[in-house]
């Protein structure tokens, strides 16, 4: 029996009864604070769940439902790499789209997201039509990574200074 089978598992959301896999998955996504997006690669139309908007300080539906809304939010330094990864996936060079980049928060700061997606529908010609994916806010992880890198650099600088001092002392 699958872990997602509702027949023998308690509900995931307190006070409600979740009876099917779809509702269980929706509850799990909501509990995980994952932003979900859908993109029509033919028309450019997009839709986002409420968490996607909230992680950027936006009200649900605040942006136009077009891929340009997302494009405008991508950090300028991340655009080339992000779009290259997306094009590689759309061109069949990778099995899925995966990228880590920054998006502009409504208050002006940058939110690091792990962005991934897959094609769920193709055109008659076999080209990607509908893609779905997720954004996970990894800003805390990126901050910890930056702090760790800075601490390592300070430790290495301290080690170099100590070695210079000892070398000078041994020459005197």
3-state helix, strand, coil in the chain (%, to 5): 40, 25, 35
Query: What token pair was written down for 10?
Result: 């308690």
Phi, psi of 138 (to 5 degrees): -115, 25
* Beta carbons of 136 and 34 less than 8 angstroms apart: yes
Please name every residue paired with 133 in a beta bridge, in sequence order, or none if there are none: 37, 117
> pLDDT for 140-172, tens place per residue?
887 777 776 766 777 777 777 777 777 777 776
Mean pLDDT confidence for 125-148: 88
Mean pLDDT confidence for 128-143: 92
Mean pLDDT confidence for 43-65: 96
* Beta carbons of 28 and 22 less than 8 angstroms apart: no
CB neighbourhood size of 171 (10 A): 6
CB neighbourhood size of 52 (10 A): 22
Residue 159, H or E segment:
helix 139-171
Query: What token pair was written down for 69?
Result: 């809304």
State residue 49's pLDDT score: 94
Length of the chain in terms of residues written: 172
* Beta carbons of 129 and 42 less than 8 angstroms apart: yes
State residue 24's pLDDT score: 83
What does the DSSP 8-state code read for residue 172?
A: -
Q: Is the CA virtual torsion 71, 76, 82, 86 positive or negative?
A: positive
Please name every residue paired with 118 in a beta bridge, in sequence order, or none if there are none: 132
Using pLDDT thresholds of 50, 70 and 90, give the confidence band for residue 66: very high
d(CA 122, CA 131): 9
């Amino acid at each position: 029996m699958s872990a997602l089978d509702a027949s023998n598992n308690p509900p995931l959301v307190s006070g409600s009864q979740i009876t099917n896999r779809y509702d269980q998955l929706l509850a799990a996504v909501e509990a995980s604070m994952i932003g979900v997006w859908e993109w029509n690669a033919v028309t450019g139309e997009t839709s986002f769940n409420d968490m996607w908007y909230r992680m950027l300080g936006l009200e649900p539906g605040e942006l136009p439902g077009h891929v340009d809304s997302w494009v405008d939010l991508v950090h300028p330094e991340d655009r080339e790499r992000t779009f290259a990864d997306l094009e590689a996936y759309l061109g069949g060079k990778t099995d899925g789209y995966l990228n880590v980049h920054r998006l502009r928060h409504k208050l002006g700061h940058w939110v690091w997201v792990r962005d991934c997606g897959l094609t769920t529908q193709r055109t008659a010609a076999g080209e990607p039509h509908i893609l779905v994916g997720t954004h996970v806010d990894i800003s805390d992880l990126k901050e910890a990574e930056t702090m760790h890198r800075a601490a390592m650099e300070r430790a290495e600088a301290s080690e170099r200074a100590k070695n210079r001092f000892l070398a000078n002392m041994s020459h005197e």
